[in-house]
Structures are given as structure tokens and as C-alpha cells.
Structure 1
């Protein structure tokens, strides 16, 4: 978990950034005020350690704490983000009509999980997207007894349309394929909330010690608010004593206190969250997700200089990012004997394979993925992000890494409706989210890139093991006011003007056109 270092400020930097982002997105604020947003945000944060001071919570400060909400780097997300297609430097622009790429693998018609293995339907499409973030006012309070947490919540709504060309014309076809909403949380401020006389009386009341209680004299306040220890006294008789009178003696039993004393909880337990960020989402196919994650740390902190780094050539053949999993046979290659994704596909991709040319049946298993018109993005989609960034001046970035299944500690999760659970169980999701500072034409603004990898499990391989199928989405987004006019018009037509009688009124729904 990250902590902020500027607790004395009347208005935290994340709130200032969020306030400006909202104005910029709706009113067209001074572009110069947008400079160094990530640098301003991240300079206020360091890693929280167990020996860092913990703030006490007092009820009379509740409103001040709520108003002092911290959104962390999530504050930079405020506003409407839309697809950005970098046409200036991309050598494959002639066949790129959308900014995003997704790969999807589904069971082949006629199959089921108990019969013929290895039959699947593969699809790789380009898409455009509108992604809106709205900061929830005030800190969201989580109460945990001696621990209180106030989260900065950010709602999101996502709309996605695939882009394809009509068979008999050059016209583009936009088809809605995905809607999603959910919430990001900045899991920030944790306070220690010790018991007070007021909370003790209001929350449960106090039941006096019974007159028949043999230990009533050990409770000077008249309530069982002391922990007692059974010891052997100087006369060799067992009796209960309070902790103050234990004096290191051997004890035989413990009689726990049944009531709190004012100040209970001051000495802990203290809670340091495993992660700084969570994401919950509702997927229209019948899955709900919870991801947990944190900011990646570079050599000099959480603000990383330059652009995100993506591999070239043979180095790009890493199964953690491929649409071909190891359980799918790996296309007959390996990380030590890779396929160069910056070169044309190997000749066997376009051959009719047989048991001589493909004795282990690994190539035919994945042949269509490498033969897809969107190769190499059909194999490793995040290379689309790499190529989009070519020629751009990206001065710094922040990387958020999240997962539903972490190696240790707290876990997220995925819950599916029965149909999905039975036939195409969604078992894991990983996400990389880059927030980048871009300089272009004398202006500085933010760019958003993401890679999402969702793992389905269905069918089995020749050896009987369950097959893991990656479903990957990548895209590059900018604020709607920061994309070229021709691209902006497409977004307005596809996400704001659809199904409305009055196009002028529809355009008014676009934040870029608000007055």
C-alpha cells in the first residue's frame, strides 16, 4: 500500500488534479495547467511500512476525513477517454481501422467438454471504445473495529464496438460487442479507532458483573472489562488475578474480558493493506470480477521515466502475453526457440499440415492464429500498444498491475453464472494499465493504454489436461479533446449520436461539446 506524505494540506494533490481534469473534460481548461500531472501526483506517495506512524480516528473529525478523500493516481483518470489511432508512424495503418485489438477463443460448435479435444473458434477483431471515469465525492468509509479505512472510489463505464469492413464496399461496420461498469478503489487512508466511553455505551451497552460472580471484586468498574489469569497463590490455592497483578507468574487458564475499556484497540492490531488499488466490474456475459493490485516501482520510484517498454523480435515470444497458451501446444515453439513476431509468419502457417510436418499436432492447433490478417497482433496483442507509441514523445508513465489471482496474500476473484461456469469457465484475469504523459505539438496531455488477459477453461488436451485459453484486449485511449478531429467525429457518431432523433442534441451529450 502507498501512503501520502502531504497530510497537512487542506486540499490533497489528487483532489486538485481531479478537479482540473473535470474542468478540462467539460469546459476546455487552460492546457498549460495540465502539465506535469503525473509528477505532481506521484511525488506525494511512498510505500507504507509497519514502522510508519498511524493516524488516530476521532468521531468529531469524520467529516474532515471524508472531505479529505484521497484518489491517488486514479485522480488522473477523471473524464471521458476514447480510442486513439496513431496513424502517423504505424507501418501497418492500411489494415488498422480501430485502435484496440482483442482475441477471443470459444468452444467450436458441436463440441462439449467431454468429447473431441482441441476444437475451438478463434476471433481477432479491431475495436473502438469509450471509457468514462467519475470520481465518487467523499471518502468511502470501511469500518473494521480498531481499524478504519477511507477509500477513494472511481466509477467507470465502458462501451466497445468492433470495427470491420463490409465485404462488397469500403464502408466500415461498427458493431456493439461489450458493455461494462464497475468501480476502482484507492485503498489508502487507514486509521486506528480506539474504543471510547461513548462508543462502548452506544454500541452495546454495559452489563454489570453479577453479584454472584466469584471474581466480581477483580472488576473495580463493576463490569467484566478485565482479562483474568488463573494462578497459584502463596498459599498454594488457585485464584484469578488481573494482568496488572500477574507479575510473570505461571498461569493455568485465561478468563477473557467481556466488555471493552476506553482505549481498547490503541495497541493494535494494525492493518496494512496488501494492495493500493482494487477494481470490481460487472461483465454482461455473467461474470463479476474483483482485481487487486499496485503500482509498479521503477528505479527511482513509482513515476517511471520514458515510455513503456515492449519487446522486439524473438524477445516478444513470451507466453504470459500471447493468445497462445502453453496448454495449447505453444504453436510448436518455445521461449528458447521462439517465433519472431516482427518477421512474417513461418512458412508452415500457410501449408496443409500432416503427421509428417506436424507430428505432435501443435502447429495445426494454433495455425489459424498466426495466419490471421491481424498478425502479429493476433498472436501478441500488446505489440499494438508498442507500435502505437512509436514516434511519440512519452516523458513518463505510471504502471498499475492488477490480478484476480495473486501469488500470496489477499486475493481477488471471479464469479460466473451457471452457464459460463459449466461451458466456458472464466477463472483468472490480469491487467496492466499505463497512464502516460505525452508531449505533442507543444501540448502535454495524458494517454491511457491497457492490456487485459482473461483465462477461460474448457475442453481438454490429448493428454487429458484442461486447456487454458487467453482472451486478450489491448487499447490506446486519450481524452476526447486530445484526439484528431476526424477520429473524434467517429466517436461522437458511434457513441453519442446513435439512436437519437436530434443529432445536435445528441452531440450535446458529448463532454467535448458541453458549454
Structure 2
């Protein structure tokens, strides 16, 4: 989306404003449908799924030094404040060449419904019980209005309490008609033999043959996203895809994480869906699906080659927009 010179100059001439994010804000560009509160409600309860391999002590009679942990969860994802006209100062050939950004904050909280692991972690005690919060992440989405480099015009910045901070970049794409095309994704670790009959992949084979909660297969983790779209009348889809391996993106971790199970990259795709069903204002109701893959590096390669095995830590969800904006934070900033 192109913006007029007058609009950009108004932002650069002291037009920075912090206010409630509203659906349809033109300066948000491809992010314009995100503002508000998204949850697993109205038939989408329990549509959040997570899989992660974790270092685990070797048991007698086993050669496995990891366990595969699965979670089913409900999520609240909030986009509530927008910072308009954020200035980045610069020069090009000695001439002022500032950049203007739109920044929108988000907060993600996931609460567990069910969990299982293999091998079972009885030595370590029970895994996190149902109802516990298993993930909290505050961050920002950016829409770059001008001075765009190599087409990267959107970005996501996030912080995770485990000691990880990320910057992922992406290129916005045109809105497409109909439902999104969900890619086929393998949950199997990389740099090992891709054979479920291999003893080293026994945890994956276990859940492939005994689906978690009767539905989730860590070998094909994206299949439930496709199933959630069956029979749903989706008019059009906005796709937001960002990657920490693009341009200057990356993940930084505290020393313990780097040493034990380093989070080396993250790629996430959000599909914002406008439905044929309308709300009280006659606008299309909204759904949000995402597929996120974080690569964790730990364990020497079984072939004896250099480097570590790369383990996909995958999260998926399908949610609905349930509120236009959370009032509490907006009222707080309005009173300042």
C-alpha cells in the first residue's frame, strides 16, 4: 500500500501518536485487521497445539536422550496499542532520508488444556497440569511506511521469559480470495535419518500411532489447520509471514539456552480470514490461524557428523476475533 507524500510528511513533522489500535487503520497496511482480542471461543476451544523436543536423561535400556512433549491449549492474543509515525533518522547522499514506522504491540498468553510426553518424565515429576499458563510473550508488529529495504516492509519483535528475544522480517503480499493454502510440514528433526522405524525416533512414532488427544500427529502437525477450515465460508485471506533468517533478523538467547537447547531460528505465518458471516455492524467476522516453527539445536548428530540435530518446535492455532479492543490499557494511557 502506497501512502501520499503529505501523509508521510505529517508523520515526520512531529505527528507521532500513541492510541488505541482500531481495525481498518490504513497506516497499518497489511496489519489492519489485527487490532483487538483473539481467543479460542465459539467452537474453536482447544484448537491450539504445541510440540517440542527437550533434552532428557537417558533411561536404563534406552539410548534416547530427549523426550517429545505435546500440549493442547487455549490462547488469548491481544493487539491493543498503536504507535503512529515512529521516526528512524537517516541520510542518503547527504540528504535527510528518515523512515516512518507504524508499531502495534501484542501480548500472547496460552493456557494448557492437556499434555503428554514420551518417554514419560516421571523422574522429573508431573508435567505442567491443565490450566497452567505455558507461554507468555509480549512484542511488537511493525509496518514500514517508506525507505523499505529489499521489500521487507513488515516485522515482528518478541520477547520470551525463557531468555529469548527475536526479530523476524517479512514482505507483505496481496490479499487472496478464499481460504489459505496451508503447507505440508514435517515435525521430524533434521540431520537424522527420516525413518519412523528408527529407534531414535520412537517418541514421534509413538504419537504418530497413538494420536495426542485422539487428533494431533507431531509427524504432520499442520493437518489440523487444514481440517479447521473444512466447511467454513472464507471470503479472503491476509497472509503475514516473517522469518528470523531474513536480512538482519535473528534470535538472541541467554547463555544457558544457547548451551542446552539453542533457539536458532523462527518462522511464523499468520492467516487472517474474513468470513462470509457478518458481525453486528455488517462487517465480515474474522478468524486467525497461525503456524510457527522455532528450530532448537541440541544433541550431537547420530551419524557422527559435525553439528547438532535440529528439532522443530511447532505451534498452531485457529482463533476468532472476540473483541474490538481491550479497554483497560486504553483507559490507562488516556489518563496519562
- TM-score category of the 2 structures, normalised to the smaller one: 0.7 to 0.9
* Counterpart selection for 2:166 from 283, 289, 294: 289
CA distance 1:173–1:372, shift in 2 (3 Å): same
Q: How far did 1:125 drift?
A: 1.4
1:280 to 1:120, Cα distance in 2 relative to 1, 3 A: same
Q: Which residue of 2 aligns with 1:423?
A: 260
Contact kept, 8 Å, 1:372 with 1:378, in 2: the verdict is no
Select the residue among 379, 385, 393 that pairs with 2:225. 385
Of the two, which has the highest radius of gyration?
A: 1
1:161 to 89, 111, 134: 111
CA root-mean-square deviation: 3.3
Question: Does 2:14 correspond to 1:63?
Answer: yes
Say if 2:139 is the partner of 1:182.
yes
Deviates more, 1:413-422 or 1:271-280: 271-280
Kindly indicate whether residue 56 of structure 2 is the aligned counterpart of residue 108 of structure 1: yes
67-76 vs 430-439, greater mean Cα deviation: 67-76
- Aligned-pair distance for 1:326? 3.4
Of 145-154 and 375-384, more deviation after overlay is shown by: 375-384
Secondary structure of the 1:422 match is: helix
Q: Structure 1 residues 140 and 373, CA, compared in 2 at 3 Å: closer, same or farther?
A: same
Residues 179-234 of structure 1: per-residue CA shift (max 9 Å, x gap): 110111101133xxxxxxxxxxxxxxxxxxxxxxxxxxxxxxxxxxxxxxxxxxxx
Question: Which residue of the other structure, out of 154, 179, 183, is the alignment partner of 1:307?
Answer: 179
Shift of the alpha carbon at 1:305?
A: 0.7
Distance, in Å, in 1 between the alignment partners of 2:263 and 2:257 is 7
Q: Which has the higher contact order (CA 8 A, sep 6+)?
A: 2
Distance 1:101 1:426 in 2: 19
> Residues 451-480 of structure 1: CA distance to partner in whole angstroms, max 9, x if unpaired?
110000000122124100000001112122
Please, which of 214, 238, 242 is the counterpart of residue 398 of structure 1? 238
More helix by proportion, 1 or 2? 1
Offset of 1:117 from its aligned partner? 6.9
Q: Structure 2-normalised TM-score? A: 0.78
1:509: Cα distance to partner? 6.2
Select between 414-423 and 459-468 the one with higher mean Cα deviation: 459-468
2:261–2:298 CA contact under 8 A, matched in 1 = yes
* Gaps in structure 2 of 5+ consecutive residues: 19-24, 117-128, 331-336
What is the alpha-carbon distance in structure 2 between the residues aligned to residue 328 and residue 128 of structure 1? 32
Tell me how far 1:58 sits from its aligned partner: 9.2
How many residues align? The count is 298
Q: Report the alpha carbon displacement of residue 84 of structure 1 after superposing the two structures with TM.
A: 3.8
What's the CA shift string for 1:145-194, capped at 9, x where partnerless?
2321110000011111110299xxxxx9311111110111101133xxxx
Conservation of the 8 A alpha-carbon contact between 1:117 and 1:462: no
SS at match of 2:33: helix
1:99 aligns with: 47
Distance, in Å, in 2 between the alignment partners of 1:164 and 1:331 is 28
Does 1:475 pair with 2:317? yes
Structure 1: 5+ residue stretches without partners = 11-54, 88-96, 167-171, 191-270, 297-301, 333-357, 483-495, 497-507
Relative distance call for 1:66 and 1:162 in structure 2 (3 A) is: closer
1:127 to 58, 61, 73: 73
**Post-superposition offset of 1:69:** 8.2
Equivalent residue, structure 1, for 2:87: 141
Number of the residue aligned with 1:4: 2
- The structural deviation recorded for 1:379 is 2.2
Residue 58 to residue 175, structure 1, CA distance change in 2 (3 Å): closer
